[in-house]
Structure 1
């Protein structure tokens, strides 16, 4: 089995570190924005308010950032990717489509861009992109079974 040269391994490690830090920073920004905005959205919704959903997003993004920095395991990376990608997907969906209320989820349609929404979108996008590269690179590196 071929072992990568030490310099190449070091370069890959540095790249992974940069990707991991970029994703963690994006998730931390996402968590901060959602935590800061949560109380402004408490009135949106009946059984489950949009403010509560913002708090859940903030908690999930915080946990994902910590997992990226402290655990460094594929499962944590997948969780972080799911948090970032679903946050970005929800943000874009409710920005451009009036979905209406779905079960306990309130109608979160908000067809405007403002500073915090733009910041959250960029942060989630950076995190999603960095984690996608990290996860795809890991899949390629898996050792192949010997025949």
Structure 2
């Protein structure tokens, strides 16, 4: 008979993964919020600074959810925020996409410390949120007989 409750070691590992995912998202949120005013001049219909503020808010929300809600949708949201942010960072680092509708041309072919830190933070979140998603245990419905 298998227990529905994960062992203490499993809970500790998942708790550490949850903290690391939230920390990565927190760093992502802080850096985007900190840099936003420097990118307000890069604008089409919407400025890059505004997009940075949106990224900061979404990353902060994902960090909060991954810590507080502790459900698969929160873990998936954290993974998507980090993966989407990293994908866009790398695209705009290596490819001159140009202006896309209301989105300004955000091509910036340089590496600087805040960008490198953001890449590491997002990568940590991708790995840890992925771990959380892949190691979820299914619980038997209430009232179901043990197997």
TM-score by length of 2: 0.90
The answer for the alignment partner of 1:2 in structure 2 is: 2
CA distance in 1, matches of 2:75, 2:139: 19
Structure 2, unmatched stretches of 5+, are none
Aligned length: 143
Structure-to-structure mapping, 1:1-147, within 5 angstroms? 1-3=1-3, 9-138=7-136, 141-143=137-139
Task: Indicate if the aligned counterparts of 2:62 and 2:77 stay in contact, CA closer than 8 A.
Answer: yes
| Cα deviation 1:4-30 (Å, max 9, x = unaligned) | 7x8x61111011001000000000000
The one of the two structures with greater contact order (alpha-carbon pairs below 8 A, sep at least 6) is 2
Structure 1, unmatched stretches of 5+, are none
Task: Indicate if the aligned counterparts of 2:44 and 2:99 stay in contact, CA closer than 8 A.
Answer: no
Quote the RMSD (CA, aligned, Å): 1.9
